[in-house]
A and B are shown apart, each in its own frame.
Chain A
Amino acid sequence: MALDQTFVGRSYPPTAPYEVGREKIREFAEAVGDANPAYTDTEAAKALGHPDVIAPPTFVFSITFKAAGQVVEDPQLGLDYSRVVHGDQKFAYVRPVRAGDRLTVTSTIEAVKSMAGNDILDIRGEVHDEAGELVVTAWTKLVARAAGEA
Protein backbone atom coordinates (compact mmCIF):
# COMPACT_ATOMS: atom_id res chain seq x y z
CA MET A 1 0.00 0.00 0.00
CA ALA A 2 1.47 3.34 -1.04
CA LEU A 3 2.24 5.80 1.72
CA ASP A 4 0.09 8.89 2.10
CA GLN A 5 1.56 11.95 0.31
CA THR A 6 -0.03 14.29 2.82
CA PHE A 7 2.70 13.31 5.32
CA VAL A 8 5.29 15.28 3.32
CA GLY A 9 6.39 18.25 5.39
CA ARG A 10 5.21 16.81 8.68
CA SER A 11 7.58 17.51 11.59
CA TYR A 12 7.72 15.65 14.86
CA PRO A 13 8.42 17.19 18.29
CA PRO A 14 12.09 17.55 19.27
CA THR A 15 13.55 14.57 21.10
CA ALA A 16 14.68 14.70 24.73
CA PRO A 17 18.34 15.84 24.90
CA TYR A 18 21.02 13.23 24.23
CA GLU A 19 24.15 13.98 26.24
CA VAL A 20 27.27 13.06 24.28
CA GLY A 21 29.72 11.30 26.59
CA ARG A 22 33.46 11.12 25.99
CA GLU A 23 33.48 7.40 26.82
CA LYS A 24 30.68 6.79 24.31
CA ILE A 25 32.76 8.57 21.66
CA ARG A 26 35.76 6.44 22.62
CA GLU A 27 33.67 3.28 22.40
CA PHE A 28 32.41 4.25 18.93
CA ALA A 29 35.88 5.15 17.64
CA GLU A 30 37.25 1.83 18.93
CA ALA A 31 34.34 -0.06 17.33
CA VAL A 32 35.23 1.35 13.91
CA GLY A 33 38.95 0.87 14.62
CA ASP A 34 39.76 4.57 14.28
CA ALA A 35 42.71 5.68 16.41
CA ASN A 36 42.52 9.41 15.49
CA PRO A 37 43.44 11.12 18.80
CA ALA A 38 40.84 13.86 18.23
CA TYR A 39 38.28 11.29 19.45
CA THR A 40 39.98 10.36 22.71
CA ASP A 41 42.62 12.93 23.67
CA THR A 42 41.35 16.35 24.75
CA GLU A 43 44.72 17.99 24.15
CA ALA A 44 44.93 16.55 20.63
CA ALA A 45 41.41 17.82 19.92
CA LYS A 46 42.31 21.27 21.29
CA ALA A 47 45.41 21.35 19.09
CA LEU A 48 43.01 21.09 16.13
CA GLY A 49 40.95 23.99 17.45
CA HIS A 50 38.15 22.06 19.15
CA PRO A 51 37.10 22.80 22.74
CA ASP A 52 36.92 19.08 23.63
CA VAL A 53 37.13 15.63 22.03
CA ILE A 54 34.96 15.35 18.93
CA ALA A 55 32.91 12.43 17.64
CA PRO A 56 33.58 10.61 14.35
CA PRO A 57 31.45 12.05 11.51
CA THR A 58 28.93 9.19 11.45
CA PHE A 59 28.51 8.97 15.25
CA VAL A 60 25.49 11.28 15.18
CA PHE A 61 23.51 8.75 13.16
CA SER A 62 22.75 6.71 16.26
CA ILE A 63 20.99 9.79 17.64
CA THR A 64 19.20 10.84 14.45
CA PHE A 65 18.12 7.30 13.61
CA LYS A 66 16.60 6.83 17.03
CA ALA A 67 14.77 10.12 16.49
CA ALA A 68 13.57 8.92 13.08
CA GLY A 69 11.85 6.12 14.99
CA GLN A 70 9.11 8.65 15.75
CA VAL A 71 8.37 8.75 12.03
CA VAL A 72 8.92 5.08 11.32
CA GLU A 73 6.66 4.03 14.19
CA ASP A 74 3.95 6.62 13.51
CA PRO A 75 0.88 4.35 13.29
CA GLN A 76 -0.84 6.87 11.01
CA LEU A 77 1.98 6.59 8.47
CA GLY A 78 1.74 2.81 8.44
CA LEU A 79 5.27 1.93 7.31
CA ASP A 80 6.03 -1.82 7.39
CA TYR A 81 9.37 -1.63 9.17
CA SER A 82 10.13 -5.33 8.72
CA ARG A 83 10.62 -4.55 5.02
CA VAL A 84 12.72 -1.42 5.48
CA VAL A 85 16.30 -1.08 4.27
CA HIS A 86 18.58 1.92 4.58
CA GLY A 87 18.95 3.40 1.09
CA ASP A 88 20.99 6.58 1.41
CA GLN A 89 22.53 8.61 4.19
CA LYS A 90 23.86 12.14 4.10
CA PHE A 91 25.12 14.61 6.69
CA ALA A 92 25.82 18.35 6.52
CA TYR A 93 27.90 19.58 9.45
CA VAL A 94 27.93 23.08 10.89
CA ARG A 95 30.48 21.84 13.43
CA PRO A 96 31.52 18.42 14.73
CA VAL A 97 29.59 16.79 17.56
CA ARG A 98 31.67 16.91 20.75
CA ALA A 99 31.75 15.58 24.29
CA GLY A 100 29.34 17.41 26.56
CA ASP A 101 26.91 18.35 23.80
CA ARG A 102 23.26 17.96 24.73
CA LEU A 103 21.58 17.34 21.41
CA THR A 104 17.95 17.32 20.40
CA VAL A 105 16.66 16.14 17.03
CA THR A 106 13.69 17.42 15.08
CA SER A 107 12.60 14.98 12.37
CA THR A 108 10.68 16.04 9.30
CA ILE A 109 9.32 13.92 6.47
CA GLU A 110 10.91 15.49 3.41
CA ALA A 111 9.53 13.19 0.70
CA VAL A 112 7.34 10.16 0.24
CA LYS A 113 7.48 8.21 -3.01
CA SER A 114 6.33 4.89 -4.39
CA MET A 115 8.45 3.21 -7.05
CA ALA A 116 7.82 -0.28 -8.40
CA GLY A 117 5.77 -1.08 -5.32
CA ASN A 118 8.51 0.11 -2.96
CA ASP A 119 7.76 2.88 -0.51
CA ILE A 120 10.57 5.42 -0.23
CA LEU A 121 10.71 7.76 2.73
CA ASP A 122 13.13 10.68 3.09
CA ILE A 123 13.55 11.92 6.65
CA ARG A 124 15.49 15.05 7.56
CA GLY A 125 16.83 15.22 11.10
CA GLU A 126 17.99 18.60 12.38
CA VAL A 127 20.31 18.30 15.36
CA HIS A 128 20.52 21.29 17.70
CA ASP A 129 22.68 21.89 20.74
CA GLU A 130 21.58 23.23 24.10
CA ALA A 131 21.97 26.82 22.89
CA GLY A 132 19.58 26.07 20.04
CA GLU A 133 22.31 26.22 17.40
CA LEU A 134 22.16 23.82 14.45
CA VAL A 135 25.05 21.31 14.68
CA VAL A 136 24.32 18.85 11.89
CA THR A 137 21.53 17.94 9.49
CA ALA A 138 21.07 14.26 8.64
CA TRP A 139 19.10 12.98 5.65
CA THR A 140 18.03 9.35 5.85
CA LYS A 141 16.38 7.52 2.96
CA LEU A 142 14.44 4.41 3.97
CA VAL A 143 13.10 1.97 1.40
CA ALA A 144 10.26 -0.37 2.36
CA ARG A 145 10.40 -3.18 -0.18
CA ALA A 146 7.18 -4.27 -1.83
CA ALA A 147 5.31 -7.06 -0.02
CA GLY A 148 5.95 -10.44 -1.61
CA GLU A 149 9.53 -9.64 -2.56
CA ALA A 150 12.26 -11.68 -0.87
Chain B
Amino acid sequence: MTAKVAYSDVEVGTELPARSFPVDRAALVRYAGASGDFNPIHWNERFAREVGLPDVIAHGMFTMAEAIRVVTDWTGDPGAVVEYGVRFTRPVVVPDDGRGAVIEVSGKVAAKLDDHTVRVDLTATSAGQKVLGMSRAVVRLA
Protein backbone atom coordinates (compact mmCIF):
# COMPACT_ATOMS: atom_id res chain seq x y z
CA MET B 1 0.00 0.00 0.00
CA THR B 2 1.78 3.09 -1.16
CA ALA B 3 -0.35 6.20 -1.23
CA LYS B 4 1.39 9.02 -3.08
CA VAL B 5 0.28 11.63 -0.52
CA ALA B 6 2.32 11.94 2.68
CA TYR B 7 0.55 12.21 6.03
CA SER B 8 2.93 14.99 7.05
CA ASP B 9 1.94 17.05 3.98
CA VAL B 10 -1.75 17.35 4.82
CA GLU B 11 -3.54 19.45 7.39
CA VAL B 12 -7.12 19.53 8.59
CA GLY B 13 -8.91 21.50 5.87
CA THR B 14 -6.67 20.31 3.01
CA GLU B 15 -8.92 20.16 -0.05
CA LEU B 16 -8.83 17.26 -2.48
CA PRO B 17 -9.18 17.98 -6.22
CA ALA B 18 -12.94 18.15 -6.94
CA ARG B 19 -14.39 16.11 -9.80
CA SER B 20 -17.51 16.04 -11.98
CA PHE B 21 -18.80 12.62 -13.00
CA PRO B 22 -21.33 12.40 -15.83
CA VAL B 23 -24.00 9.69 -15.68
CA ASP B 24 -26.38 8.79 -18.48
CA ARG B 25 -28.73 5.88 -19.11
CA ALA B 26 -26.01 3.90 -20.87
CA ALA B 27 -23.80 4.22 -17.77
CA LEU B 28 -26.62 2.88 -15.60
CA VAL B 29 -27.17 -0.12 -17.87
CA ARG B 30 -23.43 -0.88 -17.76
CA TYR B 31 -23.39 -0.51 -13.99
CA ALA B 32 -26.44 -2.76 -13.63
CA GLY B 33 -24.61 -5.48 -15.54
CA ALA B 34 -21.32 -5.03 -13.72
CA SER B 35 -22.87 -4.94 -10.24
CA GLY B 36 -25.71 -7.40 -10.77
CA ASP B 37 -28.30 -4.88 -9.52
CA PHE B 38 -31.01 -4.99 -12.18
CA ASN B 39 -33.69 -3.12 -10.22
CA PRO B 40 -35.82 -1.54 -13.02
CA ILE B 41 -35.92 1.85 -11.25
CA HIS B 42 -32.41 2.27 -12.67
CA TRP B 43 -33.26 1.73 -16.34
CA ASN B 44 -37.04 1.58 -16.92
CA GLU B 45 -38.67 5.01 -16.90
CA ARG B 46 -42.23 3.65 -16.95
CA PHE B 47 -41.50 1.46 -13.92
CA ALA B 48 -39.73 4.28 -12.06
CA ARG B 49 -42.70 6.61 -12.50
CA GLU B 50 -45.15 3.90 -11.45
CA VAL B 51 -43.39 3.59 -8.09
CA GLY B 52 -43.50 7.35 -7.57
CA LEU B 53 -40.06 8.46 -8.75
CA PRO B 54 -39.68 11.51 -11.01
CA ASP B 55 -37.68 9.48 -13.57
CA VAL B 56 -35.02 6.78 -13.72
CA ILE B 57 -32.54 7.22 -10.84
CA ALA B 58 -28.90 6.19 -10.55
CA HIS B 59 -27.96 3.28 -8.29
CA GLY B 60 -26.96 4.70 -4.91
CA MET B 61 -23.96 2.40 -5.11
CA PHE B 62 -22.99 3.99 -8.46
CA THR B 63 -22.94 7.40 -6.79
CA MET B 64 -20.98 5.95 -3.87
CA ALA B 65 -18.48 4.42 -6.32
CA GLU B 66 -17.96 7.77 -8.08
CA ALA B 67 -17.60 9.78 -4.86
CA ILE B 68 -14.71 7.70 -3.51
CA ARG B 69 -12.76 8.37 -6.72
CA VAL B 70 -11.96 11.82 -5.35
CA VAL B 71 -10.07 9.98 -2.59
CA THR B 72 -8.53 7.17 -4.66
CA ASP B 73 -7.39 9.56 -7.42
CA TRP B 74 -5.76 11.70 -4.71
CA THR B 75 -3.90 8.87 -2.97
CA GLY B 76 -3.23 6.85 -6.14
CA ASP B 77 -3.72 3.57 -4.29
CA PRO B 78 -7.38 2.52 -3.90
CA GLY B 79 -6.15 -0.10 -1.43
CA ALA B 80 -5.32 2.71 1.00
CA VAL B 81 -9.02 3.19 1.84
CA VAL B 82 -9.59 1.85 5.35
CA GLU B 83 -13.22 2.86 5.86
CA TYR B 84 -15.92 4.36 3.66
CA GLY B 85 -19.53 5.11 4.47
CA VAL B 86 -22.39 7.18 3.06
CA ARG B 87 -26.06 7.94 3.63
CA PHE B 88 -28.25 8.01 0.53
CA THR B 89 -30.18 11.23 1.11
CA ARG B 90 -31.58 12.03 -2.34
CA PRO B 91 -31.65 10.17 -5.66
CA VAL B 92 -29.63 11.22 -8.69
CA VAL B 93 -32.31 11.61 -11.36
CA VAL B 94 -31.02 10.63 -14.81
CA PRO B 95 -33.21 11.98 -17.65
CA ASP B 96 -33.07 10.48 -21.14
CA ASP B 97 -32.37 13.84 -22.77
CA GLY B 98 -29.03 13.15 -24.43
CA ARG B 99 -27.12 14.67 -21.50
CA GLY B 100 -28.16 12.78 -18.38
CA ALA B 101 -26.94 14.02 -15.01
CA VAL B 102 -23.69 15.12 -13.42
CA ILE B 103 -22.48 14.15 -9.95
CA GLU B 104 -20.21 16.83 -8.45
CA VAL B 105 -17.88 15.61 -5.71
CA SER B 106 -15.51 17.52 -3.48
CA GLY B 107 -13.65 16.46 -0.37
CA LYS B 108 -11.45 17.76 2.36
CA VAL B 109 -9.42 16.40 5.23
CA ALA B 110 -11.63 16.66 8.30
CA ALA B 111 -9.33 15.01 10.85
CA LYS B 112 -5.86 13.57 11.18
CA LEU B 113 -6.04 10.22 12.94
CA ASP B 114 -3.55 7.66 14.23
CA ASP B 115 -1.36 5.37 12.15
CA HIS B 116 -0.93 7.78 9.21
CA THR B 117 -4.67 7.83 8.52
CA VAL B 118 -6.90 10.82 7.84
CA ARG B 119 -10.65 11.20 7.64
CA VAL B 120 -11.89 12.80 4.43
CA ASP B 121 -15.40 14.26 4.35
CA LEU B 122 -16.96 14.17 0.89
CA THR B 123 -19.73 16.30 -0.56
CA ALA B 124 -21.71 14.95 -3.51
CA THR B 125 -24.37 16.96 -5.32
CA SER B 126 -26.40 16.60 -8.49
CA ALA B 127 -28.56 19.36 -10.02
CA GLY B 128 -27.62 21.51 -7.03
CA GLN B 129 -28.99 19.04 -4.48
CA LYS B 130 -26.96 17.09 -1.96
CA VAL B 131 -27.25 13.40 -2.86
CA LEU B 132 -25.04 11.80 -0.20
CA GLY B 133 -25.00 12.60 3.51
CA MET B 134 -22.40 11.68 6.12
CA SER B 135 -20.08 10.71 3.30
CA ARG B 136 -16.77 9.92 4.97
CA ALA B 137 -13.69 7.93 4.18
CA VAL B 138 -10.69 7.03 6.28
CA VAL B 139 -7.57 6.60 4.17
CA ARG B 140 -4.00 5.62 5.04
CA LEU B 141 -1.34 7.98 3.70
CA ALA B 142 2.36 7.51 3.21
Contact = CB atoms under 8 A, between A and B. Distances in A.
Interface string B77-96: 11101111111100000000
Interface stretch (B6-14, B59-67, B108-116, B123-131): B59-67
Contacts, number: 104
A115 interface: no
B34 A30 contact: yes
Given A49-B1, A57-B68, A62-B35, A38 B78 contact: yes
Contacts of A57: 65, 68, 72, 78, 81, 84
Nearest to A65: B37
Contact of B61 (A34, A50, A89): A89
Contacts of B37: 62, 65
Interface in A24-43: 24, 27-28, 30-34, 36, 38-39
A145 to B, nearest CB: 10
Contact of A54 (B2, B78, B85): B78
A5 interface: no
A86 interface: yes
Interface stretch (A9-17, A91-99, A101-109, A119-127): A91-99
A89 B82 contact: no
A90 B84 contact: yes
Interface residues of B, number: 35
Nearest to A55: B78
14 contacts: A28-B35, A31-B27, A32-B31, A33-B21, A33-B66, A34-B72, A39-B78, A57-B65, A57-B78, A86-B61, A87-B87, A88-B85, A88-B87, A91-B83
Interface of B: 1-2, 21, 27, 30-31, 33-37, 52, 60-62, 64-66, 68-69, 72-73, 76-79, 81-88, 134
Interface of A: 24, 27-28, 30-34, 36, 38-39, 47-50, 54, 56-58, 61-62, 65-66, 85-93, 95-96, 139, 150
